[in-house]
Structure 1
Amino acid sequence: MIGFGYFFWLMFQITLEYIPISPEVSFLQIKQTEVSHRPEYLYLFYTHVYTSIFVLLLGFLAILRKDFGLKSLHKNIGKSYIFVVLCLSAPSGVYMGIFANGGFLSKFSFIILGILWWITTFKAFKLAKQKKFLLHKQWMWRSFALTLSAITLRMWKVIIVYLFHPNPMDVYQIIAWLGWIPNILLIEFLITKKIL
């Protein structure tokens, strides 16, 4: 809880950098080609930034529902999480992946991440509708593992830059994959071992 709270706070601080909306703040300073030539880019970028922070929080609240008396809210929390991922966060993430820094390898990874995020969330939704709740839970864990890539990507970036000082574009190519593959492998291991 403490670890998630700390990293969520850091993510929230990053999100605050983009309030108010401006085409020239922070990360967008190196994306001026897209900002200038693609009118939809800013809308989808801000959709992704603003919704992803809520998805992180909703996913965490769903995990804590029993310990904090939120069991009755689980359905509504889950519906909100699923709606935001399927309709906003994942589609905008796939779009952002198309224009990711770091060349083809980064773009490919972020596009795959966005597609898998959408698929795992949709699968969890379908299983809940079918009342297959154990499978639903496992697929929600997969979805949340991909949601957490927003945090793990930044953790890996700090570690790699601190230890190896690589070229910035090389960093993008590495963290694009490290941000989500270890997460999903860990969840698969825990599911296989029936820990989750």
Structure 2
Amino acid sequence: MLSVKRNTFNALKILLILGFGYFFWLMLKITLEYIPLRTDASFLMIKQTEVTQRPEYLYFFYTHVYTSIFVLLSGFLAILRKDFGIKKFHRNSGKIYTFLIMILAAPSGIYMGIFANGGLYSKISFVFLGMLWWFSTFKAYQLARQKKFAAHKQWMWRSFAFTISAITLRMWKVIIVYALHPDPMDVYQVIAWLGWIPNIFLVEYLISKKCL
């Protein structure tokens, strides 16, 4: 029985790593679309009002895009911890993850949220997401400094739930567009919330069941 559980756990580890690797590759492809710097690439093609009227928008946009890919990677390495045999990376990965979110990725994301597509409901969601992302990361960092590692782990999972909204948002977008064919701006109003609310509910459920 113990051998079966160990084999099941190892299989789940492999599936988790492969799954993350696939979605990380997709996100990396999106990031590479903005290299070299251009003002008319991909998402920016529908943000020309901000690009032309708000020169600072591009600085915040590229800060968010370029740091978020490293946030995804460092966050994944940090939460793997000793159970996955890479304990030595946990502290350094966590420091990189925390620094990038609190100083660069979350503040730039909050600014971009103010100008999000989809109207007021989308703007509220993205700004709120950025604030929760920053706060949960700060809380995880604070608890680690206090050596309250059990609580730190739970807050890190909350932070990562917000981090992977970059992935889940795009998954929901594909599902909704193919299933319902709605107006593009209506899609943003829905995925702005679907991108992160199910994530955090799932994490809270797993925490309550002591799975995390």
Q: TM-score, normalised by structure 2?
A: 0.90
Counterpart residue number, 1:51: 67
Aligned residue among 5, 10, 33 for 2:49? 33
Bigger relative contact order, structure 1 or 2 (CA pairs below 8 A, ≥6 apart):
1
**1:143 alignment partner AA:** S
Counterpart residue number, 1:90: 106
**2:88 alignment partner AA:** S
Counterpart residue number, 2:199: 183
Q: Deviations over 1:98-124 (max 9, x none)?
A: 000000000000000000000000000
Within 5 A, what are the aligned runs for 1:6-21? 6-21=22-37
Deviation of 1:70 (Å): 2.1
**1:100 alignment partner AA:** A
In our comparison, the structure showing a higher alpha carbon Rg is 2
- Distance in 2 of aligned mates of 1:191 and 1:139: 10
Deviation of 1:67 (Å): 4.9
**1:129 alignment partner AA:** R
Task: Give ranges in structure 1 of 5+ residues lacking alignment.
Answer: none
The CA RMSD over aligned residues, in Å, is 0.9
Counterpart residue number, 2:95: 79
Deviation of 1:62 (Å): 1.3
Q: TM-score, normalised by structure 1?
A: 0.98
Say whether the 8 Å CA contact 2:101–2:134 is kept in structure 1: yes
Q: Deviations over 1:29-49 (max 9, x none)?
A: 111111111111001000000
Alignment partner of 1:42: what SS?
helix
Task: Give ranges in structure 2 of 5+ residues lacking alignment.
Answer: 1-16
Counterpart residue number, 1:118: 134
**1:106 alignment partner AA:** S
Q: Which runs of 4+ in 1 moved over 6 A?
A: none
Deviation of 1:73 (Å): 2.2
Aligned residue among 148, 152, 156 for 1:140? 156
Percent of pairs identical after alignment? 74
Q: Deviations over 1:1-27 (max 9, x none)?
A: 221111111110000000001111111
